Structure 1
Amino acid sequence: MPHPARRFAALVLSITACLPIAAQAAPPRLDPAPLAALEAAVASDEIKQVTSVLLLVDGTVAYEHYFNGADAQTLNDVRSASKSVTSLLVGAAIGDGHLPGVQARVYDYFPEFTAQHPVDPRLRGTTLEDLLTMSSLWECDDQNQFSAGNEERMYVTERWLDFALALPVKGFAPWMSRPEDSPHGRAHAYCTADSFVLGAVLERATRLPLADYAAQALERPLGITRSHWNRSPEGIGMGGGGTRYRTRDLARLGELVLAGGRWQGKQLVPADYIAAMIRPQAQTDDGSDYGYQWWGLKLPVDGKETTVWAMSGNGGNYVFVMPEKKLVAVVTSKAYNRSYAHPQSRRVLTGFLLPALR
């Protein structure tokens, strides 16, 4: 059997020959030992149900491997990592003039609803930014099974949009932080309905199905030729989850963010929007930062806690972006609803990929 270092070198050469994500330079020199350890951990089921790992450094593929029956053509169901793509689409729509900005009022896009339903004035002022930061005043919390807006309640209704727009005003029990007492002045609650309504706004603003606008604004310019977007029972594109992409195409989305929204000389998403998207706008219950549907995770990097911005979805699906290292890392996984899913995917980054760069 070939030495692990020679096997790794051959793998890198084969990858860079077939995957021009950006202008390819010589692949960075990596320590093969952590990568061999990663493959052994997956093979022994110490790391479970991971289907792909891809590492880009300075636009060049440094490592790519598929596991558990997946390959480069597999469309990965990245679940809530879809929310981060929806955020990019909001930015694209602002850049091309379909949306005026993040302060646009959500209910203004649904006059047929407001004509037939009384809306509390506090909710009537809900903005796109409120939804992007998951800090609207809707009583909606996916982490609380008793919440009126819990996503599981939405899924069993016939009209998801009416469900979301009719949500009541959130109350703040004595033990809950009010917006004015919360970091960044926003009381964050994870709410898939927020992301779904963002997709509905995009459809109204662009007059295109969400999947078609995604193809026009992001996917085709990035060279993404295959994807899948779900739709609600009433036919609205599902901006909150279940989108499917190939691993290499997820890497392209990460590269776009790393490049400040610019791709091959064209500004697909405004640079100032990208900067706001991966800047702390709210704080989650676990202490993570939250931008515009992107997570600012607190992870150990080079011996210290570091904020790493990421797309994140159920099952341990991630696209990590680290501008300071010019790095994008993708981990796809099918460990849906498993407690180990997120910790082990983060460990792939911090315990195997980053050590290989040293």
Structure 2
Amino acid sequence: MPIAFRRLLLASILIFPLAAPAKDYQPPTAGSDGWPVADARAAHWDLAPLAALETRLTDGSTKGITSVVVAQHGKLVYEGYFNGGEADRLNDVRSASKSVTALLVGAAIDRGLIPHVQARVYDYFPDKQPVQHPDPRKQAITLEDLLTMSSLWECDDENPFSTGNEERMYVTEDWLQFALDLPIKGFAPWMTRPKDSPYGRAFSYCTAGAFTAGAVVERATHKGLAAFASEVLEKPLGITAVQWNASPLGIGMGGGGTRYRSRDLAKLGQLALDGGRWQGRQVISTAYITQMLSPHTQARDDADYGYLWWRFRFPVHGVDQTVWAMSGNGGNYVFVMPSQQLVTVITSTAYNQRNAHAQSQEVFREYVLKALP
């Protein structure tokens, strides 16, 4: 055996240690949920990374990941459950729920129940006024400000000293009043003001804002968030099992904690990928989906933000590609990569673990993307 070939063979073993033989791959099973399925072998996927992924997720070195579901070109090509995960399990995807709230805003706008994303938030809650810290700038806050995490509320979940930190909201009874009462934030000298920020908006992650966006949907539709979601989103997608949370006063929790099955999460990703369509049916208007999946704020140096959806870049065959994502505590993700017509769901219970997001992103980058044809 030539030395160069032996070195190449050794390198492949080191990259994918203990990989199961390709013949062990099993295509997803067609069920009654409406998902078409396909064989990854026929689509020329590289099965070695997928086999290595299964080894890693079952050998104890990776904690908390409970499922990986992959669809390409509208068909499921891979489905695996680990660490107690099951196909029928309702996964608590935490803040990935915010992206569902963004879809519900679109459904309300499509029906004329909300005029547009420039609708002023405080106009929907006359019964909650007067509010604390009155300011004309508060009255001018729009639904788009909440969807893009760029309102002028002093609200930052990543700052434990922030007045609007979500943990402070959870210990109050009236979450909506908590949000509406928030003061206008100031910009310290080291902070970037909106006019100096990319896209003209200063990002600050605020669960209270996403919760309030869901409350606007409830007021506009005269329905609870769970009921409206069932009618305009979940039933059209054939989603029959879901769990929504509510605030102490019964307002739907549009900021986190919704539970879906993994294949149903993939449907939400496919809906976004296909411009609001599911199996030929227009569920959310393409115009709104396009607006939702456009960058409106810079969240971090490595990420932009749409309407409660994150925008990342991941490499495919050495070239960075745009990826939109639903993202939640614990490393829960629904990744949507338009250039590859790819949807990937990763569910995880590694809540509040520092490496949870990095771990799930690594699974997507090093195994799913490297298996692409």
Q: Does 1:132 align with 2:176?
A: no
Structure 2 partner of 1:326: 341
Q: Deviation per CA, 1:2-57, whole angstroms, max 9, x where unpaired?
A: x722220xx20xx2433654455665232221011001111222221100000001
Alpha-carbon distance in structure 2 between the residues aligned to 1:29 and 1:225: 33
Residues 315, 321 of structure 2: 8 Å contact kept: yes
| Identical counterparts, % of pairs | 60
Using a 3 Å threshold, how does the CA distance of structure 1 residues 300 and 19 change in structure 2: closer, same or farther? Answer: farther
Residues 77, 245 of structure 1: 8 Å contact kept: yes
Q: Aligned AA for 1:128?
A: L
Structure 1 partner of 2:11: none
Q: Aligned AA for 2:104?
A: L
Offset, 1:206: 0.6
Alpha-carbon distance in structure 2 between the residues aligned to 1:89 and 1:115: 28
Structure 1 partner of 2:6: none
Residues 295, 311 of structure 2: 8 Å contact kept: yes
Offset, 1:342: 0.6
Structure 2 partner of 1:18: 31
Residues 21, 59 of structure 1: 8 Å contact kept: no
Offset, 1:105: 0.5
Offset, 1:81: 0.1
Q: Does 1:259 align with 2:267?
A: no
Larger Rg belongs to: 2
Using a 3 Å threshold, how does the CA distance of structure 1 residues 205 and 40 change in structure 2: closer, same or farther? Answer: same
Q: Does 1:144 align with 2:165?
A: no
Offset, 1:266: 2.7
Q: Does 1:287 align with 2:312?
A: no
What secondary structure sits across from 2:256 in the alignment?
Answer: coil
The residue correspondences of 1:1-358 to structure 2 (distance < 5 A) are 4-8=21-25, 11-12=26-27, 15-18=28-31, 21-24=34-37, 27=40, 28-115=43-130, 119-358=134-373
Alpha-carbon distance in structure 2 between the residues aligned to 1:350 and 1:156: 38
Residues 95, 268 of structure 1: 8 Å contact kept: no
Using a 3 Å threshold, how does the CA distance of structure 1 residues 336 and 25 change in structure 2: closer, same or farther? Answer: closer
Using a 3 Å threshold, how does the CA distance of structure 1 residues 177 and 116 change in structure 2: closer, same or farther? Answer: closer
Offset, 1:286: 4.0
Alpha-carbon distance in structure 1 between the residues aligned to 2:120 and 2:174: 21
Using a 3 Å threshold, how does the CA distance of structure 1 residues 277 and 125 change in structure 2: closer, same or farther? Answer: same
Alpha-carbon distance in structure 1 between the residues aligned to 2:298 and 2:308: 12
Alpha-carbon distance in structure 1 between the residues aligned to 2:180 and 2:232: 27
Q: Aligned AA for 1:57?
A: Q
Offset, 1:107: 0.4
Alpha-carbon distance in structure 1 between the residues aligned to 2:347 and 2:32: 18
* Residue-pair matches, total: 353
Offset, 1:308: 1.1
Alignment TM-score, normalising by the size of structure 2:
0.91
Alignment TM-score, normalising by the size of structure 1:
0.95
Alpha-carbon distance in structure 2 between the residues aligned to 1:299 and 1:314: 20
Alpha-carbon distance in structure 2 between the residues aligned to 1:170 and 1:326: 40
Residues 21, 252 of structure 1: 8 Å contact kept: no
Residues 102, 129 of structure 1: 8 Å contact kept: yes
Using a 3 Å threshold, how does the CA distance of structure 1 residues 251 and 180 change in structure 2: closer, same or farther? Answer: same
What secondary structure sits across from 1:329 in the alignment?
Answer: strand
What secondary structure sits across from 2:157 in the alignment?
Answer: coil
Structure 2: runs of 5 or more not aligned:
1-19
Residues 298, 304 of structure 2: 8 Å contact kept: yes
